Amino acid sequence: MIKHLRACNEIAQRAVRRGHHPFGAILVAPDHEEVLLTQGNVSVIRHAESELARKAADLYTASYLWDCTLVSTLEPCAMCAGTQYWANIGRLVYGVAETKLHELTGSDERNPTLSLPSRSVLDSGQKGIQVFGPFPEVEVEIIAPHLDFWNT
Catalytic residue of the set 10, 33, 49, 139 = 49
CB 120 within 8 A of CB 76: no
The length of the chain in residues reads 152
Does residue 34 carry a catalytic annotation? no
**Strand order across the beta sheet in which 24-28 lies:** 35-40, 24-28, 69-74, 91-96, 130-132
| Structure confidence at residue 110 (pLDDT) | 64
Instruction: State which H helix or E strand residue 38 sits in.
Output: strand 35-40
| Residuewise pLDDT in 10s, the chain (152 residues) | 899 999 999 999 999 999 999 999 999 999 999 999 999 999 989 999 999 999 999 999 999 999 999 999 999 999 999 999 999 999 999 999 998 887 777 666 766 677 789 999 999 999 999 999 999 999 999 999 988 887 76
CA 76, CA 129: separation in Å to the nearest integer?
Answer: 14
pTM (global) more than 0.85: yes
